Chain A
């Protein structure tokens, strides 16, 4: 597309008009990186005029690494009989939660694998035992895990989510979305839920009053059209439910995976982030992914539409298994945000500001 046409598309964006698939693809193909950043920044400023950049203090806890999905892009899963297969003992789970609370954390994100020996009762019991002991927000179980509980329990999706909610589940993380197009899923995660199943878990959760995020893992076998298709599918459901708090694009990390290949370039990451902000006109928050991009790129992302630095992540195992070890302590996150001219703010998982720095 000629730059004149790009300008027409961006003109629409600034007028608050919604973009279609073709226009989204045109923006992703545009090589004027800073122009995309400016358009995305203009939208971010409208949605977040206070110039705060938020983050949540939390911890990722992975209750098991055994997973029968065995996605080709994943370096975390193990077979049941593997030497380093594990199920996290309760005491360790509690210890991790106590450490999180001790540093001012508000939230735990508990995710694991599809373990053949763990049924719905295990999860309900885990939630209850946490809520009995601690005042902490539980942001847990991505749609593939919830769908697995449906299959193993024989209950309806509605019933499973209700029981999880009653037992203490507060909100759902947006993992397992990868690219919400079945052609791609068949290639990279053939045993995982279809895009329609992923979406119905989120729709039902939203209907029950639980919020969730949505992620997108890009930079593997998908086309630019499929990236934009993913964004449009999230946007459509958001119109219906309003239940997505944030969108989190992050790039595929190839090390130690079956899929192999290379990770997306820095320019590709920033463009995809900016286009996410532009396409998803009804999603309030866009997260920068310092875990996959590093602190420097994470900070630069704040000029490309991101208004949230995600989680401080006292612990992170899944991306680390794919050979990426970006550790950014809280002080560094605060410094990066200030250095970029924004006000750092600790938030809750539902994006209420608790504290400005």
Chain B
């Protein structure tokens, strides 16, 4: 059947993909400029199948955002607030422990905690947070603190990245989420997050974590002011680190939501359906040393997320409770999807549902 549709302008790239050859920067750019959505999807699906068979993963997890006070106030963000804003909050350690304890019966395998850069929250607060969450949820993996938060703590205490990471690990931290990567290009960061750490620094934090034996996630926030070239360069920077450390678990493309952010006035167009699916597929094709590509349903809605399973995605993330960051930016999806609905969705896409933990250990399958 492949031959019946074999007139694609992307034939040479397809050959490389099926021969297992690594794609170049130019290949990535050409893929983005092509409108041959289905052939790009089929190539990505081939690689997905090579790496993950018929499995489609999900996780049962819970999010806690401990504070929305943030010194960086990135232009891209609708969640962070200045300290004197009446709508700020900081969760006390007791409140965090209570939140963690309240999901004991939900059979979660991961707790995901990220927040703003709050000048008064010091390392001891975070260490105690880790200890208490660990106590409240024994056996649950703690995936917390973006590279941006780790860097902030290092600067606040004049410590090295390793020292901060080590201290957090000793207190219970298992893994870093992939947030704060945005687009690595300095030109873009200047516009969308001018106070945030550089792309290089973000990669340093993850490399340090990998050296200490931690596995981490990676992300790319796209669909704002970046060019196609800058997206591909972002993927290539991650690919290079992954060659070196092998510490990335997954890559998560995040479609930008402009609402309520400072970028809203720029009248940016929303990512189209083609752009969303192409970005999944192209990241699957470029990131040949990543095992997993995640379609975070909360950003794109259940329908597109399910369709993404045919465009290179093998993981739909989780049944998330209390997601604040994407929703403050106007994500029009639900905050929670039941495990039953996720399983049904995965089966209806012809995949085999597998519940995983953070490290992709299988916790349940089939259903």
Chain A contacts to B: CB under 8 angstroms: 7, 10-11, 14, 31-35, 37-38, 41-42, 262, 265-270, 293-300, 303, 332, 335-336, 339-341
Contact B306 A266 (CB under 8 A): yes
Query: In the bound complex, what is the Cα–Cα distance between A42 and B277 (angstroms)?
Result: 20
Contacts of A339 in B (CB 8 A): 272, 274-275
Size of the B side of the interface (Cβ < 8 Å), in residues, is: 35
Q: Smallest distance from the beta carbon of B129 to chain A beta carbons, Å?
A: 37
Contacts of A10 in B (CB 8 A): 1, 4
Contact B1 A265 (CB under 8 A): no
Contact B272 A31 (CB under 8 A): no
Q: Give 1 or 0 for each of B38-56: 1 = CB within 8 Å of chain A CB.
A: 1101100100000000000
Contact B303 A34 (CB under 8 A): no
Q: Smallest distance from the beta carbon of B130 to chain A beta carbons, Å?
A: 38
Q: Smallest distance from the beta carbon of A228 to chain B beta carbons, Å?
A: 18
Contact A340 B38 (CB under 8 A): no
Residues from 269 to 325 in B contacting A, C-beta threshold 8 Å:
269-277, 300-307, 309-311
Chain B contacts to A: CB under 8 angstroms: 1, 4-5, 35, 37-39, 41-42, 45, 269-277, 300-307, 309-311, 341, 345, 348-350
Q: Smallest distance from the beta carbon of B43 to chain A beta carbons, Å?
A: 10
Contact A266 B1 (CB under 8 A): no
Q: Smallest distance from the beta carbon of B307 to chain A beta carbons, Å?
A: 5
Chain B at the A interface: SS class: helix
Query: In the bound complex, what is the Cα–Cα distance between A41 and B39 (angstroms)?
Result: 12
Contacts of A37 in B (CB 8 A): 38
Contact B307 A297 (CB under 8 A): yes
Contacts of B35 in A (CB 8 A): 340-341
Contact B45 A295 (CB under 8 A): no
Known: A34-B42, A296-B272, A296-B300. A267 touches B310 (CB 8 A): yes
User: Which residue of chain A has its CB nearest to the CB of B45?
Assistant: A34
Contact of A34 among B269, B270, B305, B310 (CB under 8 A): B310
Q: Contacts A11-B4, A297-B273 given; 20 further ones with Cβ under 8 A?
A: A31-B350, A32-B350, A34-B38, A41-B38, A265-B306, A266-B304, A266-B306, A266-B307, A267-B307, A268-B348, A270-B307, A293-B303, A296-B301, A297-B303, A299-B274, A300-B274, A335-B272, A336-B272, A339-B274, A340-B35
Contact A35 B307 (CB under 8 A): no
Query: In the bound complex, what is the Cα–Cα distance between A294 and B304 (angstroms)?
Result: 10
10 closest A-B pairs by CB: A31-B350, A341-B35, A266-B303, A296-B273, A300-B273, A299-B273, A33-B310, A266-B307, A7-B1, A266-B306
